[in-house]
Structure 1
Amino acid sequence: MAKTFHPEHRSAYASYMLLWNPDYFFWPEDERLETLASIEAGEPAEAQWSMSANHRHVQVGDRVYLRKTGQGDRGIVAAGWVQGEVIMQPHWDGSARAATYVPISWDSLVDVDNPFNLEPISQQFPSGIWRGMQSGMRIPDDATQELERQWQGHFGRALRQEQNRDDVDHDSASPIERRYAVSVIRARRHQKSFRALLLQNRELKCQVDGCPICDLRLLEAAHIVPDSDGGASSLDNGLLLCPNHHRALDVGLIDYDGDEFFWNDEVEPF
């Protein structure tokens, strides 16, 4: 298992603010639950995230926080530690340009609807960092200790609320309360790279004939020979599909022979 860096591994470390806008980059809920399951099990939740500002200065062992931007509730939803040197890979938006990514290991994560509100600390430590729109801006040194204290308190409360929530009889006339179950499963850490490979080399649309979906946020990387059966994460074994057709392929409603799609005789094509 790869070594996970924490503050005690360096006498001094810097902290940076990474950005996530769900309106532009889709982070699947199942991947987030896998990340949380790894964190709760005390295992490294390895990932990588785009970082434009300060990518020449960030070092292994530095602290990173992930701030949710865009519509809805905004604030920090995850934090972790830098685990390796910055790398160049295809841009997450699917364009031909490259982007800089920093390898990280998440150690804390909360629900996207329960972000840590930065308003109080932004008043305590005035800085443009709290609303800055460049991923990788450095957090002022005088604010890092208090930010970490407040974030850990928020993360701890979120965990306790989930763990202490008891099952109750549900009134059929009331809306069902949103709840999540966390399962520890094997995470496909190569899936993000597989998707980036397909986005770089495939037409940016669902490959099923007649499907109009071409929104990058809805295109998924599908294995022709399933990953669970040893199928390679390669161009020859990959398709860009919308979620519906990806699911149809996985459950056998549709087959692909390398050239064409064939629907099961009992299924009305959609």
Structure 2
Amino acid sequence: MKLVRYGAKGSEKPGVLDAEGTIRDLSGLVGDIAGVTLSDEGLARLRGLDLSKLPAVDASVRLGACVGGTGKFVCIGLNYADHAAESNLPVPSEPVVFMKATSAICGPNDEVLIPRGSQKTDWEVELGIVIGKRAKYVSEENALDHVAGYCTINDVSERAFQAERQGQWTKGKSCDTFGPTGPWLVTRDEVADPQALKMWLKVNGDTRQNGSTATMVYGVKHLVSYLSEFMSLEPGDIISTGTPPGVGMGMKPPVYLKPGDVMELGIEGLGEQRQTCIADPE
């Protein structure tokens, strides 16, 4: 299934795509694409529905982030060897873990705000893992049992805030709108191999990233198991798994986003995003 959330920001309703790509309203059946809805039992219930009997949603509706109720937005850094190289950093001996504020989460086609004082706002297409069942001390063998599905994420980053302002990476990753998520949460049964997905990103029509999850240093199973050693992963939590090469920081000379720039990105089978950058008006 391809699950969506649609409507005005902060008032999104749950939906599902039918075979023709029409959004069908689920708000009469579930409260949100969150919590128990993401469990195996909750997803099985949705799979049993006759979607043709559900109300159709206007195609022009705004799409919100494809999962709600996210308590943790966990990110993995330097998880592609060639991206580590362009960052002039070694491939890590264990996953590099940092957090992105959940207030950064936005819809896949919402405007991205260039924060006040930013000179180095950058792009990163990433595979997102959405947790469906609580995970604590899980083995790699059982890790996927705790995954509800996958989505496309743009891990927008302000490099000066991230690397030149002391401390952890979090403040360079957490500005408002720095986490476009969706358009769809694609349930794990529809993703035969999360380590074999093509991914791409364009800026103003020019291809910047063209990679595959096949080149991840640490794969989905390992990441879910590894993180569950250090924190309980709960339904609705998101893991953003790192980016392939081609970020603005790695270009020679570096190139960063400015108001008016348009990012387009996608992952095979998981849908596409499009964001226009604007100066943060606040």
User: TM-score, normalised on structure 2?
Assistant: 0.26
Larger % of helix: which?
1
Larger % of strand: which?
2
Larger RCO, structures 1/2 (Cα 8 Å, 6+ apart)? 2
Greater radius of gyration (CA): 1
